Amino acid sequence: MANFFCDFRFLLLIAAVAFIYIQIRLFATQSQYADRLAEAVESENHCTSQMRLLIDQISMQQGQIVTLEDERKRNFEERLQLKALIQDLERKGLQQLTDKTQEPVAAVVIMACNRADYLERTIKSVLKYQTTVASKYPVFVSQDGSNPEVKNKALSYDQLAYMQHLDYAEVETERPGELIAYYKIARHYKWALDQLFYKHNFSRVIILEDDMEIAPDFFSYFEAAAILLDKDKTIMAVSSWNDNGQKQFVHDSYVLYRSDFFPGLGWMLTKSIWDELSPKWPKAYWDDWLRLKDNHKGRQFIRPEVCRTYNFGEHGSSMGQFFKQYLEPIKLNDVQIDWMSMDLSYLMEDKYVKYFADLIRKAKPVYGNDAVMKAYNVVGDVRIEYRDQSDFERIARQFGIFEEWKDGIPRTAYKGVVVFRHQTQRRVFLIAPNSLERLGI
């Protein structure tokens, strides 16, 4: 019996120990859970606090958004009112510049950007000769950008209308290292010509740049040229420029030529030509693009022997390229010619080929690698054949004329023939291998 009680007490002791151990483990577990629960509560409180802070920030931002949206709406309405005001001023300005009883020959647009001093010189030159024919040639200044000096200078003249091209779109060049300026210039040209042809509905536009002076007969020349443009659809545009118009290479102010090379630098085109060009206008280098044969479609350009524009812009986007050698020595015509009284029918395509071929027939052929030296000893016009582009460049270099080609066409060339004056009066014809055949000689 004593052994039984002894065993029972032993079991109770074991049970007590087990119970105490379980209680200790349970207490430890409860303590860990309580700690974790406290951490969770603290974390929840922190999250709640952060959430409230975030909600407050969102509320503030929403308030700012509402304020900005209201401001945007006000700005939009102000822009609409300003745009309407500008359009009204443009209409009133244009009405003052045009004669309701007479359709203008062409609008004249001076393309400007950030050279106020150059622009003033150009405007003064244009207005000097435009005043007597103002109703025929309304003048516009189209500014690219917001240079205040240029804008104020343009607006200071009541005799012209002002347009402003504001384009903040990012420019992406097609090749590394290209100047963004050439892309901006191309955009500006397209915008300005679209404005003049489609908004103001002019039938012709003369494009000048803000670094040009014009000749006394500039407007008479383009009035007569407008008739040619209307009659002969093989003429793509008319230019007042001759790339080889330096003093030593020109003589006769009355002589005009056809050319396969687009001269630019003071030129006129029609609305029908712009209808063709505008949809495919290039992103940059618009003048080189116009010199591509694919854009000519077999058409040519009219150019003078003696320039009717003078480019004085040594500083600009082209950074003075060619200025000292080719631009500064240009002769600006100083003879007042009544072009409307002149017979220019020889420039029509069907007559010009024969006219030009006759000039070449009368020229004395000069051959050999020393042809340039021989030409100095020939009396009268001479013609020299060149084999290819490198041969042409060699000969051109010896005479001092432009060597450059674009899309297989030398500057000023007509059917591969480049003509210029040599030793004051006589003509020199540089002739491609197939030129005589193309001219029927």
Spatial contact of 267 and 332, defined as CB atoms under 8 Å apart? no
Active-site residue (options: 70, 194, 260, 287)? 287
Q: Active-site residue 70, yes or no?
A: no
Backbone angles phi, psi at 179, to 5 degrees: -80, 130
Spatial contact of 314 and 325, defined as CB atoms under 8 Å apart? no
Spatial contact of 94 and 138, defined as CB atoms under 8 Å apart? yes
Spatial contact of 163 and 191, defined as CB atoms under 8 Å apart? no
Alpha-carbon span 322 to 327, nearest angstrom: 6
Alpha-carbon span 389 to 400, nearest angstrom: 16
Spatial contact of 270 and 206, defined as CB atoms under 8 Å apart? no
Q: Which residues are catalytic?
A: 287
